[in-house]
Amino acid sequence: MTKGSVLDDLGFSAAEALEIKVKADIYRELMKHIEGCSLTQEQLGSILGIHQPDVSHLRNGRISKFSVGKLIKFAGKMELGAEVRLIKPKPGRGLSVRASVERPAAGLAVRKLAR
């Protein structure tokens, strides 16, 4: 039985748990968008400015390879906006954070690649 967050039970500090939660939220939304674009690894690497091994890490969920800042830069290169809101937790509850990625009109990143 957990006493709060699974991350707390795994021994992460509050700051580490917060970073992991933000990364996971941004990653999840970024990947929803990327999957909807039907890009090859080569095309995605070109848009994001990264090499194939890093594209593979990204697509396979190895988010420990990327900082929060890098994931936000990737969102920007995919013509997405990002928003992170910090929320003061209620007494007795763990840290709370909400991170979201705003989706553009369909196909903007793909059109950019075609130029």
Give which of 78, 70, 83, 68 is closest to 104, Cα–Cα: 78
Cα dihedral 4, 7, 9, 12 sign: negative
Enclosing domain of residue 41: 11-114
3-state DSSP percent of the chain in helix, strand and coil, to 5: 55, 10, 30
CA distance linking residue 37 with residue 33, whole number of Å: 7
Residue-wise pLDDT for 38-91, tens only, equals 899 999 999 999 999 999 999 999 999 999 999 999 999 999 988 887 777 777
To the question of pTM greater than 0.75 for the whole model, the response is: no
Give the mean model confidence (pLDDT) for residues 23-42. Answer: 93
Is residue 3 included in any domain, yes or no? Answer: no
In the chain, the number of structural domains is: 1
CATH number of the domain encompassing residue 41: 1.10.260.40
- In which band, very low, low, confident or very high, does the pLDDT at 100 lie, cut at 50, 70 and 90? low
Helix/strand/coil for 48: helix
Helix axes 52-59, 41-48, angle to 10 degrees: 100
Is residue 5 included in any domain, yes or no? Answer: no
- Backbone angles phi and psi of 102, in degrees to 5: -90, 130
